[in-house]
Amino acid sequence: MKFDRLAVLSLFLIFLLSLTPAFAQDPGGEKAHDGVDISGGAKTGLPETHVQGQAHETADSHVNLGEMLPLFSCIPFAGMLLSIALLPLVAANIWHHHFGKISAFWAASMALPFIYAYRGTAIYEILHIILADYVPFIILLWALFTVSGGILLKGTLRGTPLVNTGIILIGTLLASWMGTTGAAMLMIRPLLRANDYRKNTTFMVVFFIFLVANIGGALTPLGDPPLFLGFLHGVSFFWTFKILPHMFLCVAILLAIYFVLDTYYYKKEKASVPDEGEKKPLRLVGIYNFIFLLGIVGSVLMSGILDLGEVSTLGIHRAVQDWLRDGLLIAMGIGSLLATPRQVREENQFSWFPILEVAYLFIGIFITMIPCLLLLKAGPNGAFAFLINAVQTPVHYFWVTGMLSAFLDNAPTYLTFFNTALGSFYAGMPESASVPLLMTENAIYLQAISCGAVFFGACSYIGNAPNFMVRSIASEAGTPMPSFFGYILKYSLVFLIPTFVVVTFIFF
């Protein structure tokens, strides 16, 4: 397939071009790029988001950009979000044909003034977010998208309320062990195919995003990037089971609401159910792709556990195990393409458009998000000080962490308030001693931060990595998906926020 070769070649070139300068190492870690100290950056091993979590300093003046940037530096990010929200409604044809150019426009509107004002420091931040965050992010999504596209569920499966609820529940349970992105990519196509005869399917995909692509990832560090970040900072692997009651309550409420809605629409549409004829038993085709899925999960876990040192790539220090992970992910995707017959992907209605759409839009989101993340990382010394200083109680931690995670990257948001809690209770104490105390003496604060970062990612299409991908796959399959604001107004505010209010009253 031409598109197969194009996708493989493009991902391989991205990897090689980024890796080639890495062999020109700077052993001392002090070589400056236009006056910039490039020795900073926290190792986290997370490929999905911007998770470095520590402000970078310049070699000459130790400038922290987050303390200098004004709030209006976030305008390009707001423009990017408004474009995603409004242009598909008011200029659908223009958006469909030029969304990549629109994304590039907003990225340039932030990057060019940023570079003019802060020169080498700005170049460093942009290169850092591209090489350390965006490239690994898109490689991981591409690998999961490619591998899951080679797994086909064949047989007679009709989307009744009970069957649909079961599919969403299975995906929710899988999300904590193979990641929300992996579970979402694996389960969305069977759900869409089982309901291809139904008229009202939009709400199904939305609740799938709520549960499989977000809330289901709350039980282990493998489930969602912020929890993995906590694991790398000393939170024990199984500590997150302490938020099982919070997750169970959300899942129970949302699944119950979903079942009621599905039952109502199913009864209303029953006359349109086609004659199934002879029922064919269910069977999975391409099950060898589960080996590649396990390889992806193992590669991500490996990158967070091993410490193989660092290399410099275009002045950006990255851990060797992160490059190794990215190479393994590309290998998993290529292996799936070679092992899976073309017919299987065609029957699975597989195409490259969803991953290309995400790649084009998220480069704009990542770049325009830089000032917002720097302001957040500056804590009480930046323009977001009014917000950071107001966070005092578990309720504050839950809602502020959550609302920021709904529109910004949930991993650095988690780290910001994780460090805020440590500073509030154990100022001056080393992390190795303070984190165990936070997990025990003040566990409710860590629970609030963890739940907020994971749960609220479901509130918008950009709240978590798989949300936009699921939306794109569903749209391509013919499911009419709500607009950016439509998703928030019709679903998040109606179903999610009341659920989180219940969680607040019971737990926080």
pLDDT for res 273? 59
Q: What is the largest CA-CA distance in the chain?
A: 75
Predicted confidence (pLDDT) per residue in 95-148, tens digit: 888 999 999 999 999 999 999 988 888 999 999 888 888 888 888 889 888 988
Q: What is the DSSP string of 57-118?
A: -BTTT---GGGT--GGGGHHHHHHHHHHHHHHHH-HHHHHHHHHHHHHHHHHHHHHHHHHHH
What does the radius of gyration of the chain's CA atoms come to, in whole angstroms?
22
> What backbone torsions phi and psi does residue 283 show, to the nearest 5 degrees?
-155, 150
Torsion from C-alpha of 56, 373, 321, 48, nearest 10 degrees: -170
Low-confidence ranges of the chain (pLDDT < 70): 1-63, 271-278
Give the tokens for residue 444: 């409710």
Give the tokens for residue 384: 């977001």
Could you give the 3-state DSSP secondary structure of residue 48? Answer: coil
Say whether pTM exceeds 0.75. yes
pLDDT for res 42? 35
pLDDT for res 169? 96
- Helix residue ranges, H only, 199-284: 202-211, 225-232, 244-269
Whole-angstrom distance, CA of residue 47 vs CA of residue 225 = 8
pLDDT for res 3? 43
